[in-house]
Structure 1
């Protein structure tokens, strides 16, 4: 779990660096297509971080229900609610 958190933090730091680079590019008046390309790359990296976090949430929810011998279907409904909220 800790390794996953560290990897996610590193990914977010890279995205942060990409966004600073995009800001610099805009300030320098670089070509719009080049800026759009970098924005798309940052968006993909951020989306990947989001999906990794959601996978963690699914894993935690399933583990919680299994550990507590609760209805797994209730856990799936809760995860569906969370995914719908951020979709």
Structure 2
């Protein structure tokens, strides 16, 4: 299953934001930032990455469900989905 880049532009933007957030967390750790703030920001990065992953899987599922391709590997899709759980 290959996804079209045009359909994943929002996902790419989400990942870029998460990348910026993660850079901020690294900076906070290096500068000895407040533990609670570091953990809160790290949780935000984790959630952003999870959402990006689910968006990719959702796009893939939509493509698979609308295609008539007999080679759709439902087990592989399920495994990807569960890997984010």
TM-score range, shorter chain: 0.7 to 0.9
Q: Which segments of 5 or more consecutive residues in structure 2 lack a partner in the other structure?
A: none
Q: Deviations over 1:11-53 (max 9, x none)?
A: 1000000000000000110111110000001111111101100
Superposed structure 1 runs of 4+ greater than 2 Å apart: 74-84
Instruction: Give the match for residue 46 of structure 2.
Output: 43
RCO higher in 1 or 2 (8 Å CA, sep ≥ 6)? 2
**Is the 1:62–1:75 contact (alpha carbons within 8 Å) kept by the matching residues of 2?**
no
TM-score, structure 1 length as denominator? 0.76
Normalized against structure 2, the TM-score is what? 0.78
Q: Which runs of 5+ in 1 are unaligned?
A: none
